[in-house]
C-alpha cells in the first residue's frame, strides 16, 4: 500500500512540476530513491543549505508536497543493519515553516548580474548601457509602462535618446506600449521621428504596430516632425517607404517641406523630400509657400536651394506679402511679444510667425502711409520706420509715402526723414508723376520750400529728366519758382527736352506768365535757341512777335549765335528786319547791330534794313537828330 501511495505521489509530482515555479537540485538531500518511495534510502552526504528557488505564486495547483522543507537522511539504530523493507523511511518530525510574504513574479527571469547604476539614471543622463541592463530592468520592473517623469516611459526615453533597436524590441516584446498613458502623453513613433537618427529604431516601432497615420493636435504626421527636427535623411526615406506622403498637409495646410524649410538646417532633408516628389510651391491655407517659411527662418542657403529646385520667388500670399516681405521682416520675430509666446507644435510656431509678421507689417505700413495726415508727420514716420515699415509701401492709388508727402506739400522735415530711411525718389504714380514733378507742381505756392525739397531729392539721386505721361519734365512744371529752376540747372538738368507737344522748358517759360528771372536763367544756362516749338517758332521769333520784355529779348539776342538767319513764319526777315518793320524799340535794334546783325540783308522783296527805315519813324528821327550813323553804323 505504501508503494502504491509513493508511486502515486511521484507521478503527481512529475505531472505537476512543469506548472510550478520552483526548482529542485537532485544533488541535494532528497534522493531519487526517496522520490520513488524506496524504504532503503542511500547514504546521504553532509548536509548543506539549498539555494532558495523563487517563491511560487498561489495557483489552482498549489499542492504542498513537502518539497519546500529540508528532508533529513533516514535514521538507523546503532549496531543494526538498515531495514530493507518497503516501509517509508523514518524521519524526524519538523515544525511547520512560518508563512512567508508573497514575492512578485519577475518576468522574464532576472539577469545573472546586478548593474552598478540603475538603468533609469543612465537613460536620463544619456549614458550608454547594454541589453543585459535592459533585461535586468524589465525583470525588476514588471510594469514596463510606468511613467518615469514628464510623461515619459522607458520606451520613450530609448526611442528619444538612443539608437538601440535591440533594447526597443525587447521592451516591446515585454509589453511596452507604443503610446504612453502618462501626462503629457507621447507617441513612440512621433518621439523617434523627432529625435532618433536610427532607421532601425523606426523600423522596429513600425513592425511592432506603430500607427503611421496618427497625427498630433495640429494634424502633423511623423513625417512632418521628422522633416522639422531629424538630421538624418534616411529617417525621411524610411517613413515615406512605409507609406507616408510628402504632400500630406496639416491643419494649417503645411506640408513636411514647409517645416523642413523653416526649422531643419540640414539641406539633405529638404532635398530628400523634393526627390520624393514634394512640391516646392505647395501653399498653405493662406497661400504661404515653403520658400516663405525659409525666408522667415532667414536661412539664405535654404532659400537659394529651394529657388534652384523651382520655388517661385515672386509668389504673393493671401495677405499680399511676398517672399522678400517675409525675409525683410524677420526682425519682428525678435520682439518680446513674439518671443514670450509658447507653441505646442513646430507647425503652430510657423503659422504664428507668419501671422505675427503679417500683423506687424500691416500695422506699421499703415502708420507710415498715414503719417502725412498727422500733426507731426516726421515723428509719426520715424516710429513706423523704426518698426520696419516698408519705406516705399504703396497706398491704394499706387503712391509711396514720399510721393504723397510731396503731393500734399508736407514739410521738408518729413521728406528728409523718408529719404534718409531709403525712400526711392524715382518711383512714380498717377500718370508716371515723379517726386520732383510733384514738387514742381506745387512750386508756385511755395517756391522757396520747393527749392529745398528739390535739393533733398537731387542729393538722393532723383532723376530730374524723367518725364510724366505727357512727356513733361519737372523743369517744365517748376517754372514758377526761380529757386526750383536754379536748383535743377545746378544739378545738370537737360534744358532742351521736348514734351509730346513739342515744347521745351524755355518755350513754356516764354508762353507763361513766369518771372523774368526764370526765363533768363534758362537762356543763360544754355538752352538751345534754335529749337522750334510745335508752331515752328524759335524762342527769339516768339519773343519778338509777342513783344516780350526787353530784358528777355536782350537775353535772347545776347545768347543767339547767328542773328542773320531768317526768322520762321516771316517773309524771310532776319531778326533785324523784323524789328525795324514792326517798330520795335531802337534799343533792341541797337543791340542786334551790336551783336552782329547785318543790315544789308534784304527780305523777299529785296528791301534791306535801310530801305525799311526810310519810311520808318526811326529813320526820320535819326535824320533830325543826326544820329543815322549811330543807328546804322557804316551802312
> pLDDT by residue (tens digit) across 145-157?
999 988 899 999 9
Q: What are the pLDDT digits (tens) for 488-517?
A: 999 999 999 999 999 999 999 999 989 999
Q: Do domains 119-314 and 433-632 have the same CATH topology?
A: yes
Helix ranges (H only) for 370-461 are: 377-386, 401-407, 412-420, 435-441, 447-459
204 vs 214: CA distance, rounded Å? 17
Instruction: Give the orientation angle of helix 267-275 with respect to helix 233-241, to 10 degrees.
Output: 30
Q: Is the pLDDT of residue 526 over 90?
A: yes
**Report field, pTM of the whole predicted structure over 0.85:** no
Q: Which of 120-124, 194-198, 507-511, 614-618 has the lowest mean pLDDT?
A: 614-618
Q: What is the mean pLDDT of residues 567-585?
A: 89
357 vs 296: CA distance, rounded Å? 9
pLDDT of residue 444: 86
Query: Three cell numbers at 629?
Result: 550813323
pLDDT of residue 7: 43
205 vs 571: CA distance, rounded Å? 106
**Mean per-residue pLDDT of the chain:** 83
Helix ranges (H only) for 264-400 are: 267-275, 290-296, 300-308, 323-328, 336-339, 346-369, 377-386
Q: What spatial distance separates the first Cα and last Cα of the chain, rounded to whole Å?
A: 180
Q: Is the pLDDT of residue 571 over 90?
A: no
Who has greater pLDDT, 557 or 12? Answer: 557
Q: What is the mean pLDDT of residues 209-236?
A: 96
Who has greater pLDDT, 114 or 601? Answer: 601
Q: Tell which CATH architecture fits domain 433-632.
A: Alpha Horseshoe (1.25)
Q: What are the pLDDT digits (tens) for 257-310?
A: 999 999 999 999 999 999 999 999 999 999 999 999 999 999 999 999 999 999
Domain 119-314 is in which class?
mainly alpha
pLDDT of residue 611: 87
515-547 burial by CB neighbour count: b if 16+ within 10 A, else e? eeebbbbbbebebebebbbeeebbbbbbbbeee
Q: Which of 14-18, 115-119, 416-420 has the lowest mean pLDDT?
A: 14-18
The confidence band for 12, taking pLDDT boundaries of 50, 70 and 90, is very low
pLDDT of residue 633: 54
Burial of 307 (0-12, 13-18, 19+ CB in 10 A): middle
182 vs 268: CA distance, rounded Å? 35
Count of beta carbons in the 10 Å neighbourhood of residue 613: 24
**In this structure, is the dihedral angle defined by the CA atoms of residues 267, 273, 275 and 279, taken in order, positive or negative?**
negative
The confidence band for 20, taking pLDDT boundaries of 50, 70 and 90, is very low
Torsion angles phi and psi, residue 298, rounded to 5: 55, 40
Q: How do the domains of the chain map onto residue ranges?
A: 1-105, 119-314, 433-632
Q: What is the mean pLDDT of residues 8-14?
A: 42
The confidence band for 55, taking pLDDT boundaries of 50, 70 and 90, is very low
pLDDT of residue 50: 33
Helix, strand or coil, per DSSP, at residue 553: helix
Q: What is the mean pLDDT of residues 179-205?
A: 93
Q: Is the pLDDT of residue 430 over 90?
A: yes
pLDDT of residue 513: 86
Amino acid at each position: 500500500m505504501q508503494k502504491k501511495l509513493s508511486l502515486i505521489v511521484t507521478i503527481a509530482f512529475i505531472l505537476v512540476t512543469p506548472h510550478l515555479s520552483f526548482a529542485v537540485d537532485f544533488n541535494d538531500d532528497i534522493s531519487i530513491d526517496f522520490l520513488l518511495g524506496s524504504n532503503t534510502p542511500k547514504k546521504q552526504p553532509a548536509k548543506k543549505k539549498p539555494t532558495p528557488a523563487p517563491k511560487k505564486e498561489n495557483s489552482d495547483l498549489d499542492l504542498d508536497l513537502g518539497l519546500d522543507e529540508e528532508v533529513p537522511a533516514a535514521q538507523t539504530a546503532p549496531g543494526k543493519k538498515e531495514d530493507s523493507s518497503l516501509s517509508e523511511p523514518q524521519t524526524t518530525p519538523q515544525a511547520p515553516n512560518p508563512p512567508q510574504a508573497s514575492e512578485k513574479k519577475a518576468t522574464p527571469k532576472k539577469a545573472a548580474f546586478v548593474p552598478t547604476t540603475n538603468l533609469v539614471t543612465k537613460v536620463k543622463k544619456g549614458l550608454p548601457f547594454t541589453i543585459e541592463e535592459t533585461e535586468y530592468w524589465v525583470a525588476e520592473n514588471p510594469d514596463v509602462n510606468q511613467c518615469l517623469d514628464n510623461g515619459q516611459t522607458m520606451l520613450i526615453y530609448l526611442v528619444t535618446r538612443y539608437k538601440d533597436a535591440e533594447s526597443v524590441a525587447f521592451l516591446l516584446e515585454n509589453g511596452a506600449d507604443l503610446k504612453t498613458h502618462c501626462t503629457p502623453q507621447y507617441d513612440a513613433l512621433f518621439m523617434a521621428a523627432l529625435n532618433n537618427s536610427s532607421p532601425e529604431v523606426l523600423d522596429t516601432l513600425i513592425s511592432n504596430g506603430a500607427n503611421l497615420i496618427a497625427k498630433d493636435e495640429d494634424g502633423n504626421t511623423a513625417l512632418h516632425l521628422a522633416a522639422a527636427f531629424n538630421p538624418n535623411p534616411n529617417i525621411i526615406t524610411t517613413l515615406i517607404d512605409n507609406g507616408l506622403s510628402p504632400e500630406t498637409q496639416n491643419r494649417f495646410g503645411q506640408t513636411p517641406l514647409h517645416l523642413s524649410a523653416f526649422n531643419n538646417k540640414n539641406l539633405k532633408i529638404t532635398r530628400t523630400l523634393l526627390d520624393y516628389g514634394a512640391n516646392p510651391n505647395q501653399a498653405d491655407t493662406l497661400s504661404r509657400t515653403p520658400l516663405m517659411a525659409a525666408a522667415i527662418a532667414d536661412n539664405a542657403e535654404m532659400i537659394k536651394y529651394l529657388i534652384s529646385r523651382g520655388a517661385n520667388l515672386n509668389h504673393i500670399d493671401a495677405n499680399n506679402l511676398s517672399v522678400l516681405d517675409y525675409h525683410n521682416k524677420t526682425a519682428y520675430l525678435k520682439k518680446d511679444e513674439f518671443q514670450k509666446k509658447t507653441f505646442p507644435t513646430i507647425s503652430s510656431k510657423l503659422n504664428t510667425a507668419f501671422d505675427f509678421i503679417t500683423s506687424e507689417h500691416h500695422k506699421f505700413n499703415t502708420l507710415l502711409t498715414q503719417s502725412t495726415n498727422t500733426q507731426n508727420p516726421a515723428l509719426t514716420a520715424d516710429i513706423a520706420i523704426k518698426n520696419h515699415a516698408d519705406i516705399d509701401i504703396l497706398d491704394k492709388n499706387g503712391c509711396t509715402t514720399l510721393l504723397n508727402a510731396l503731393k500734399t506739400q508736407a514739410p521738408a522735415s518729413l521728406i528728409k526723414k523718408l529719404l534718409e530711411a531709403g525712400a526711392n525718389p524715382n518711383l512714380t504714380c498717377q500718370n508716371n508723376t515723379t517726386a520732383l514733378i510733384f514738387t514742381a507742381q506745387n512750386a508756385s505756392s511755395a517756391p522757396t520750400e520747393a527749392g529745398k525739397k528739390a535739393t533733398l531729392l537731387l542729393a538722393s539721386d532723383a532723376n530730374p529728366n524723367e518725364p510724366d505721361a505727357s512727356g513733361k519734365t519737372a523743369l517744365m512744371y517748376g517754372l514758377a519758382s526761380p529757386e526750383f529752376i536754379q536748383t535743377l540747372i545746378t544739378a545738370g538738368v537737360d534744358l532742351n527736352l521736348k514734351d509730346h507737344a513739342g515744347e521745351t522748358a524755355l518755350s513754356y517759360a516764354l508762353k507763361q506768365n513766369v518771372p523774368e528771372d526764370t526765363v533768363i536763367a534758362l537762356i543763360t544756362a544754355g538752352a538751345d535757341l534754335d529749337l522750334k516749338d510745335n508752331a515752328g517758332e524759335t524762342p527769339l521769333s516768339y519773343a519778338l512777335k509777342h513783344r516780350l520784355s526787353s530784358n528777355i529779348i536782350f537775353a535772347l539776342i545776347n545768347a543767339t549765335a547767328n542773328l542773320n538767319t531768317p526768322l520762321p513764319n516771316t517773309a524771310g526777315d532776319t531778326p533785324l528786319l523784323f524789328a525795324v518793320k514792326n517798330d520795335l524799340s531802337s534799343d533792341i535794334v541797337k543791340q542786334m547791330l551790336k551783336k552782329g546783325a547785318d543790315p544789308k540783308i534784304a527780305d523777299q522783296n529785296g528791301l534791306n534794313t535801310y530801305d525799311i527805315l526810310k519810311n520808318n519813324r526811326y529813320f526820320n528821327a535819326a535824320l533830325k537828330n543826326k544820329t543815322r550813323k549811330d543807328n546804322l553804323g557804316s551802312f
